[in-house]
Amino acid sequence: MPKSGKKFLAAKGRVEPRPYGLAEAVKLVRDVRYAKFDESVDLAMLLGVDPKHADQMVRGTVVLPHGTGKSKRVAVIAAGDKVKEAQEAGADHVGGEDLVEKIQGGFLDFEALVATPDMMRLVGKLGKVLGPKGLMPNPKAGTVTMDVGKAVREIKGGKIEFRVDKTAIIHAPIGKISFDEKKLEENASAFIRAVLKAKPAAAKGKYFRTVSVSSTMGPGVVIDTTPIEAA
């Protein structure tokens, strides 16, 4: 097991082993940073659900008010006037059957895929390629839609999809360390509220077991989510 570096240990030493208010947690993450690059700021959430049961799956989408600091590469599978609509909205790759064949051949130079409902008969062939990478278009995530322009703009503007993994954890980026504290706080609040809204009815007991925020290289800071849950 690799040893932690001196800078990490020094940063960790400034974090008390207790829950912090959201604003205080975000400020601390920025205060203890030591990396020389513009790190991502991420949330890690351990939920009180059992993802093995379909009725306890947690998934959804949220548009962060200040984006993530990174514009995603978006591909769109569409036909007719929807091709132009996607291009005008800023899609990086747009096509129909030709793009499907390209993806089947191994092309995966995108981080989100949008498709119109009429093209899903073709996109269905890509399940084995896209499924394991979490790139399969889904109506619940807003990536199967006739309004491709809106979908592309939202994804480019900071819309992210979240889904609990098999260990009941959700990881998500909420911005960059260069963001000011208010923007990070508002992004974090929006994300936590979105996950709270997605709480399955079958979930019993404490829903947010542990929620922490950290920069790429920094230590985690535990957040007290009680005020958000009570709102």
The candidate with the shortest Cα–Cα distance to 162, out of 42, 65, 52, is 42
Percent of the chain with pLDDT over 70: 98
pLDDT in tens, 115-124: 999 999 999 9
Assess whether 48 and 86 both reside in one domain.
no
**In a domain? residue 183:** yes
Displacement of CA 46 from its chain's centroid (Å): 15
Assess whether 115 and 150 both reside in one domain.
yes
pLDDT in tens, 37-78: 999 999 999 999 999 999 999 988 898 999 888 888 999 999
**In a domain? residue 220:** yes
**In a domain? residue 7:** no
Are 118 and 79 in contact by the 8 Å Cβ rule? The answer is yes
Assess whether 174 and 147 both reside in one domain.
no
pLDDT in tens, 127-181: 889 988 888 998 888 899 999 999 999 998 888 889 899 999 999 999 999 999 9
Is residue 216 predicted with pLDDT exceeding 50?
yes
Range of the domain at 63: 14-68+159-230
Q: Specify the pLDDT at position 1.
A: 40
Percent of the chain with pLDDT over 90: 77
Q: Specify the pLDDT at position 3.
A: 59
Assess whether 82 and 146 both reside in one domain.
yes
**In a domain? residue 191:** yes
Supply 194's token pair.
């979105």
pLDDT in tens, 146-160: 999 999 999 988 888
Is residue 4 predicted with pLDDT exceeding 80?
no
Is residue 2 predicted with pLDDT exceeding 70?
no
Mean pLDDT, the chain, integer: 92
Distance CA 141, CA 112 (A): 11
Assess whether 79 and 148 both reside in one domain.
yes
Is residue 231 predicted with pLDDT exceeding 80?
no
Is residue 186 predicted with pLDDT exceeding 50?
yes
The candidate with the shortest Cα–Cα distance to 161, out of 223, 114, 208, is 114
Task: Determine the angle formed by the axes of helices 148-157 and 81-89, rounding to 10 degrees.
Answer: 20
Q: Specify the pLDDT at position 224.
A: 95
Among the candidates 157, 174, 201, a domain finishes at 157
Instruction: Report the domain count for the chain.
Output: 2
Q: pTM surpassing 0.85? A: no
**In a domain? residue 172:** yes
Phi, psi at residue 79, to the nearest 5°? -145, 165
Q: Specify the pLDDT at position 35.
A: 92
**In a domain? residue 2:** no
Among the candidates 115, 139, 157, a domain finishes at 157
Distance CA 116, CA 99 (A): 13
Supply 136's token pair.
């399969």
Among the candidates 157, 174, 200, a domain finishes at 157
Assign residue 86 the CATH number of its domain.
Answer: 3.40.50.790
Assign residue 178 the CATH number of its domain.
Answer: 3.30.190.20
Helix (H) or strand (E) holding 62: strand 59-63
